Structure 1
Amino acid sequence: MVFVDVVRESAAAGRVVLWEESARDGAQAKTLMTPGFRVRLARETGRVFGADGPRHAVFAAGFPAVCGEEFEAVRRVATEAEGAVSVAAVCRGARRDLEQAVASVRGSRHARVMVVVPASDAMAHVMVHRTAPEALADGVDLVKRARDLDEEVAVDVCLADASRAGHLLMAHYAQAMTGAGAGLIVLADTVGGQLPHDCREMFGRVRAEAGDEVVLASHLHNDLGLGLANTLEALAAGVRVVSASWLGIAERAGMVATEQLLFLLARHTADVLGADATPWWTPPDLTRLPVIARTVAARRVSR
């Protein structure tokens, strides 16, 4: 069977893909969801796009290396939400973490892992006690390792603190990681302080220097209230995979709200994406969004 990365394929075709973070980044906002609730939320997220759920929604199910219970939670989402969304496990840039992440989603259709690699010297010093170029070079090796572990699991790389990293450096390693088999290269404003014009320049410059084979994605936090504005700038720069979270829940001040972004794109498609844009294989069913948002809100209250 030939492996097809439906998310990368969708983005390359100009379709919008949501990387849903409420179950993973939301856990860092003290809103830990039970395995059963994650399965339910993943399925409901996929139903927004019908049969094209896996091509329009990546559901970050969790961080398997945290503990055995978290591994089993991610495994349950990968098993029970298969076919509704593309299920992703997230891990640090360490071999053991990577192996656990791949194992947690192995065998699920359209499964992915996202490896977090520091892109700035400041973040590299904190995360791995190395320089940014050294950490990024290790990231290339991790992509190769992931593809060796299971060629049916797509591997993406999140460049942490990209907003404070060198554009040419990121473009160089984005090329190398893509050449090694990465599906997406995610540029993250990890500290949530990037201004919109700087965000647009970052995505535009990295995209231009890295070339057409590299598919970029965004992960933009909202510490200074800039998450939505920056996500719109990423889309204007040609990015088609964007992170979001139901109700905006994520660590610290969160990130752009999934329901808000979908309503905005429906209302201002041409303004944001261009007059000739065809952003959906199946347009989102916006009538489902209030129900999902209320469900997540109730879950937060019940905790």
Structure 2
Amino acid sequence: MKDNKVQIFDTTLRDGEQVPGCKLDTTEKLIIAERLDLLGVDIIEAGFPVSSPGDFKSVEEIAKIVKNATVCGLTRAVKKDIEVAAEALKHARIPRIHTGIGTSDSHIKYKFKTSQEEVIRRGKEAVAYAKNFVDDVEFYAEDAGRTDNAFLAKVCEEVIKSGATVLNIPDTTGYCLPEEYGAKIKYLKDNVKGIENVIISCHCHNDLGLATANSIAGAINGARQIECTINGIGERAGNTALEEVVMILKQHPYLNLETDINAKLLYDTSRMVSEKMGMFVQPNKAIVGANAFAHSSGIHQDGVIKNRETYEIMDPEDVGVTESAIVLTARSGRAALAYRAKKIGYELTKVQLDSAYQSFLQYADKQKEVIDNDLHLIMKEVNKTSKIAMA
């Protein structure tokens, strides 16, 4: 793998599906898995096989159809979990078992009621046992974001000795600041023996709206895998959004980091997942929201019409959106009205535009948006006094 390649680990079908009301059946999961493979994700976390017979079946069927990506199954640091995951993954071209345990003081004291030494022992045993079934074993240190760095480094060093190939450093509660999370990744790079032989992975949650920023900070500091979901869906406030990290790396080439994602499929994939899961994408969602490339302010509209780059840092076509949207509202100016009128076939002179604009404002003050049907009515009124040329 190239030094600047960031692997995209998609957990839409595991962490994403944990959202209340977003349950998928096996057929729906297979459709999404095929799309993720086509999209170019490197790893598909297909589910948590021991959690239910249905999830086992889904992981098993996904393992059969995925042609390019690694197929991954999640487990706890429990032998039965690992055995069941291995069975579900037996048909995968490239299988991975993802196992681990909580490492923060909170998890050790309250969740496991045990000691740091016992957590290390269980982590090592889980990784070693998983290596009996697959070559590729990812270890997650749950709540690593709130884990003391020195102890986290010790855990990582020990599981590397047991055969871990990937170290997942989750900000499970979304608590870290980007500088703090980036520094944690750098600390591990500088202080863990054998770290150069494994991939460090970021799995960041969005409780404070920092999941994407933290993941990027992790990659800048040496992580080479980002765990994310389509539309940023996931537990509580969600996970790192795949479309966001992909486009950040694409739009900032000076970072010298890249992915293998086919960005032109991002918008369509977002819509597919939204439809299958019944999970509405907020209009102002970055990259794939309905308003991501929509302009309603007259000043912005005039700038975009003259040159798209005045208010857009991305070409909509790069993410699969056909074009920018000029939305007519009471805040729109003459340039936007002329632009939209021309789109539906009307070529206005300056006098006609001035007349149409006054009528347009009356419509715009009464409703949230002026649509094409309204424009036809406006042009019909203007045409009574001045013959409008058709564009």
Over aligned residues, Cα RMSD in angstroms? 1.8
Tell me the CA shift for residue 153 of structure 1. 4.5
Counterpart in the other structure of 2:25: 34
CA deviations 1:59-95 (Å, max 9, x no partner) are 11111111111111111111122x2311100011111
Paired position in structure 2 for 1:147: 131
Shifted more, 189-198 versus 120-129: the winner is 120-129
Equivalent position to 2:9, from 19, 26, 32: 19
Q: Which residue of 1 aligns with 2:42?
A: 57
Q: 2:63 aligns with which of 68, 74, 78?
A: 78
State the Cα distance separating 1:214 from its structure 2 match.
3.5
CA distance in 2 between partners of 1:14 and 1:107 (Å): 31
Runs of 4+ in 1 over 4 A off after TM superposition: none
Deviation at 1:302, TM superposition (A): 8.0
Spell out the pairing of 1:85-100 with structure 2 (5 A cutoff): 85-100=69-84
Letter in 1 for 2:138: D
2:139 corresponds to which of 157, 180, 204: 157
Matched, 1:241 2:225: yes
Cα distance in 2, alignment partners of residues 196 and 112 from structure 1: 28
CA distance in 2, matches of 1:174, 1:111: 22
> Residue 120 in 1 paired to residue 104 in 2?
yes
Q: Secondary structure at the match of 2:173?
A: coil
Counterpart in 1 of 2:190? Answer: 208
Instruction: Map 1:196-275 to 2 at 5 A.
Output: 196-210=178-192, 211-270=195-254, 273-274=255-256
Matched ranges for 1:278-297 at <5 A: 279-280=258-259, 283-297=260-274
1:114-159 residue CA offsets vs partner (Å, 9 max, x unmatched)? 11311112112344331233112211111111112x1x44211110
Distance 2:278 2:131 in 1: 40
What CA distance in whole angstroms lies between the structure 1 residues aligned with 2:65 and 2:27?
9
Please tell me whether the aligned partners of residues 63 and 71 of structure 1 are also in contact (alpha carbons under 8 angstroms).
Answer: yes
Q: Distance in 2 between matches of 1:302 and 1:26?
A: 10
Displacement of 1:204 in angstroms is 0.6
Query: In 2, are the aligned partners of 1:118 and 1:160 still within 8 Å (CA)?
Result: yes
Distance 1:286 1:252, change over 3 A: same
Amino acid at match of 2:150: L
Amino acid at match of 2:7: V
Distance, in Å, in 2 between the alignment partners of 1:14 and 1:174 is 22
Q: TM-score, normalised by structure 1?
A: 0.86
> Which entry has the higher C-alpha Rg, 1 or 2?
2
Pick which of 119-128 and 287-296 moved more: 119-128
Equivalent in the alignment of 1:106: 90
Which residue is 2:173 aligned to? 191
- 2:164 aligned with 1:182, yes or no? yes
- Matched to 2:272, the amino acid is T
**2:164 alignment partner, SS class:** coil
Considering Cα pairs closer than 8 Å and 6+ residues apart, tell me whether 1 or 2 has the greater RCO: 1
- 1:227, 1:109 → 2: CA distance? 31
Q: Which residue of 1 aligns with 2:372?
A: none
Q: Is the 8 A contact 2:17 2:24 kept in 1?
A: yes
CA distance in 2, matches of 1:38, 1:180: 33
- For structure 1, list consecutive stretches of 5 or more residues without a partner in the other structure: 1-9, 50-55
Residue 44 of structure 1: aligned partner: 35
CA contact (8 A) 2:120 2:158 kept: no
Q: Equivalent pairs: percent with the same residue?
A: 23
Q: How many residues align?
A: 277
Question: What is the distance in 2 between the residues matched to 1:139 and 1:162?
Answer: 14
2:279 and 2:178 map into 1 onto residues whose CA distance is 36
Structure 2 letter corresponding to 1:130: T
After TM superposition, the structure 1 stretch with the greater mean CA deviation from structure 2, 92-101 or 127-136, is 127-136
Task: Report the Cα distance in structure 1 between the residues aligned to 2:179 and 2:248, rounded to whole angstroms.
Answer: 20
In structure 2, distance between residues paired with 1:65 and 1:16: 29
